[in-house]
Amino acid sequence: MPCPVHVVTTEEFTLSAPLATQAGARELARGSLVRRGEGTCEGGVPVEVLSVAGWVAVPTPAAPGARGCLATEALAPVDTLVFVALANAPATAPASTSTSTSTSTSTSTSTATFTAGDILGVLRDEGRCDADRYTFSGGSVSAGVPVAALSAVRAVSPDVLAGVERVRAAYGDLFGGDLFGGDLSGGELFGNLGPIGLHEVPWTDWGYVGLPLPHPLDAAALAAEWAREGLDTPARREKATVAFGPVAFGPGASGPGTLGPASPPIYQHFLGADAPGSDTWGRPATIVRLLKLARGWWDHCVTLPGDPARCTLQIGDLAWYNAVRPDPLGHKDHADGACVDVRLFRTDPSRYEAWWNRPDDRTGAIAYDGARTLAFLAWAYANAPVTEAFFNDPDALAALPNLRPLRGHDDHVHLCLGDRPGDQP
């Protein structure tokens, strides 16, 4: 009996499937890869975990190489899926032991030939139980890939991959190249991170794509951010920036992509009370529109008086991993993946929140920059496909007839981006 590779699937919007192991109950994120073993087990079939989909953090996750019992209905075929490398393969990847207790194990090794972002192609093996490597077609890999190297790989449907590629290409067009920017006061030039790879654009099986955030803050950087902003309580730290998008640089900066006083980010993400990684998702078209909005606003804002660091677009909630309702993020209209929350602009370079109707809770001073927030809204209405916007500042409401008030929108602007005549996201 063959031991084919399967992708883990779930019911509708469920994020993971349970895996019973000798070490106890574990969870496998949807999209993980497993190799089916011979025979059956109580409640399903034996499997070996080949890769764990890292787009969502699940409780008690299984690790590559783990073995256990998985429900048969959690196994989906991979014959139409495209395999993409999310990390570099190890230089030498030892073959995995067989999932069959009756087949001798293999100890061969082989050099894997893919790097992060490569498309390996479609799996072409029949799934022998003693296979120590797999072959692919239609991609960048011409030799067999050791089983253990598949820990760096994820499978994706062609239609979802098309959305990921759309976002990757848009990011490269907007923020790639050698230099971007223009003739600004002080002569600043703006650096880039270069084009990003497919592995830097996360996706879910439901077709939602994550906002590219190439500069996530690790524990040390997050602690530095707390110190920089004076975030001395759990409630304040919950409002901290946790990741940056593309970074500009000017005179005095250490180089492209290096955050500092002379190199503010074009956009950044703050988490709030949500689980890490759970609130940055949207339709591919929405993410492309948001990237265009961030770049266009930056180009406009740096021509205005004041510190360019105050031009950064502070992005909060987009959508959950999928369109499940009620929305786990607590929104009424974010689930469809077309809306985003944006922080108000401040009168100083701080990356903390601002309110139009109350002072900064750290200093007691009014930090809200009403003029710049209104300028952003006016620019967005004129240049982006804004279909809906909520914000409660009465001055902004008086100036922008399409803007509407809504309870809970005193510290951020809610924007929905969609189709309009002639729009090409």
The pLDDT value recorded for residue 273 is 87
pLDDT tens for 326-361 read: 988 988 889 999 999 999 999 999 999 999 999 999
Whether residue 269 contacts residue 211, with contact meaning beta carbons closer than 8 Å, is answered with yes
Q: In which band, very low, low, confident or very high, does the pLDDT at 254 lie, cut at 50, 70 and 90?
A: very low
Measured CA to CA, the distance from residue 228 to residue 215 in angstroms comes to 17
Measured CA to CA, the distance from residue 230 to residue 214 in angstroms comes to 25
pLDDT tens for 373-424 read: 999 999 999 999 999 999 999 999 999 999 999 999 999 999 999 975 444 4
pLDDT surpasses 90 at 315 = yes
Instruction: List phi, psi (to 5°) of 417.
Output: -120, 125
The pLDDT value recorded for residue 94 is 45
Distance of CA 122 to the CA centre of its chain: 24
Measured CA to CA, the distance from residue 256 to residue 318 in angstroms comes to 27
The pLDDT value recorded for residue 396 is 98
Average pLDDT for the chain:
87
Measured CA to CA, the distance from residue 273 to residue 146 in angstroms comes to 41
Measured CA to CA, the distance from residue 247 to residue 264 in angstroms comes to 6
Domain boundaries, the chain: 5-156, 158-417
pLDDT surpasses 60 at 17 = yes
Peptide bond preceding 305 in cis form (omega within 30 of 0): no
- Among 6-10, 95-99, 212-216, the range scoring the smallest mean pLDDT is 95-99
The first and second tokens of residue 222, run together, are 């997050």
pLDDT tens for 158-176 read: 999 999 999 999 999 998 7
State mean pLDDT over 137-158.
91
> In the chain, pLDDT over 90 holds for what percent of residues?
71
Q: What is the model's pTM?
A: 0.89
> Which of the pair, 254 or 77, is modelled with greater confidence?
77
The first and second tokens of residue 168, run together, are 């990757």
Is 158-417 in CATH node 3.30.1380? yes
Roughly what angle, to the nearest 10 degrees, separates helices 370-383 and 284-301?
130
Which amino acid is residue 215, in one-letter code?
H
Measured CA to CA, the distance from residue 187 to residue 210 in angstroms comes to 33
The helix (H) or strand (E) run that includes residue 155 is strand 153-156
pLDDT tens for 222-240 read: 999 999 999 999 999 999 9
Q: In which band, very low, low, confident or very high, does the pLDDT at 252 lie, cut at 50, 70 and 90?
A: very low
Q: What ranges make up the beta strands (E) of 112-171?
A: 119-123, 133-134, 136-138, 145-146, 153-156
Measured CA to CA, the distance from residue 321 to residue 315 in angstroms comes to 17
Measured CA to CA, the distance from residue 281 to residue 367 in angstroms comes to 29
The pLDDT value recorded for residue 330 is 87
Most confident of 36-40, 67-71, 177-181: 67-71
